[in-house]
Structures are given as C-alpha cells and as structure tokens.
Amino acid sequence: MRLKSMKRRTLQKETIKQIFQQLDQPLGIEQILCKGREKVPALNRATVYRNIRLYVEEGLLLKINHPALGTLYERAGRGHHHHFYCRICDQVFELPGCALKETNVTPKGFFAESHEVFVSGVCSSCSTRDFSSITNTDHENPPA
C-alpha cells in the first residue's frame, strides 16, 4: 500500500514549467496554452489548468487576479513587486520594488497583512514606437 502518490515527469508538465522559467512576466491561460503547443501541439486546455493548479499548490507559481486581464500566473519567489499593465500591447510587466507603506494607507485599528498594486498606462516600448495608436483605444476602465 502506497502512502504517498508519486509524481511523474511528462512532456506537458515540463513544457509548462519551462515557459515560466524562460520569462519574467505573468501569463494568462491562453498564452500558456499557445506557447505550450509550440512544443506539444496536442496540449489540452484542461491539462494546462491542472498543471498550473498543481504548480500553484506546490508554490512554484502565483495566481494573480488582474483588474483588466483576469486570471494570470507568474513564477513565485521573486520577491514582493507590483504590476504594470500596458493598454496598448496588453502585456503585464513586473515593477521592481514597492513604494507603498501599508501604515500610510491603513486607518487606526486596521491591521494590514498584505497588499497588491496594479498600475496601468503605456509601457516604454509602446510609448516610443507609435504615438498615434495611444489615442486609439477602447478601454473599459478609464483612468481614475
């Protein structure tokens, strides 16, 4: 009788893991699926969900609920950071460091344990590449 179930190494699993090891950017399921299919063409969406979930439970990945893009996943253990969403290229970048002091935003009696910051705007590539496209957008959430 086995007390502990053994993990098996499959191409699908390794492929998904590698995608995140090669990239310091949060990805959505569709992006993971696309990149994964470059190596495993028959890769199934359910398999991606299952393995992502596994990696999150193992602590290898982190799940992010992004205000504009929905659920994203990123490699864990890279220290506290925030996220920048570029509305032109629809990509999310990691912002190193943290300029937010929890005590500055928390009223007396409230105990802050963690926080998340989502910045959005235009990334450096998009702002230098083509300014005309910056006005042509169809946002849901206009700037506050």
CB 129 within 8 A of CB 122: no
Q: Which does 104 bind (CB under 5 to 8 A by kind): DNA, its own copies, none?
A: its own copies
Please report whether residue 118 would count as binding its own copies according to CB under 8 A: yes
DSSP string, 32-89: HHHHHHTT-TT--HHHHHHHHHHHHHHTSEEEEEETTTEEEEEES-S-S-EEEEETTT
Q: Identify the residue whose tokens are 């499959």.
A: 10
**Contact between 80 and DNA per CB under 7 A:** no
Q: Which region among 37-45, 90-98, 104-112, 120-128 touches DNA (by CB under 7 A)? A: 37-45
Helix or strand holding residue 133 (H, E): helix 132-135
The span from the CA of 106 to the CA of 1, in Å, is 53
Amino acid identity at 133: S
Q: Residues touching its own copies: how many (CB under 8 A)?
A: 48
Among 18, 21, 44, 133, binds DNA (CB under 7 A): 44
Nearer CB in complex with its own copies: 12/25: 25
Out of 11, 23, 117, 119, point to the residue binding DNA (CB under 7 A).
11
Measured from the CB atom, the residue of 41 and 142 that comes closer to its own copies is 142
For residue 113, count other CB atoms closer than 10 A to its CB. Answer: 5
* Residues at the interface with DNA (CB under 7 A): 2, 5-13, 29, 40, 42-47, 49-51, 53, 70-71
* Residues at the interface with its own copies (CB under 8 A): 63-68, 70, 80, 82, 84, 87, 93, 95-102, 104-124, 127-128, 140-144
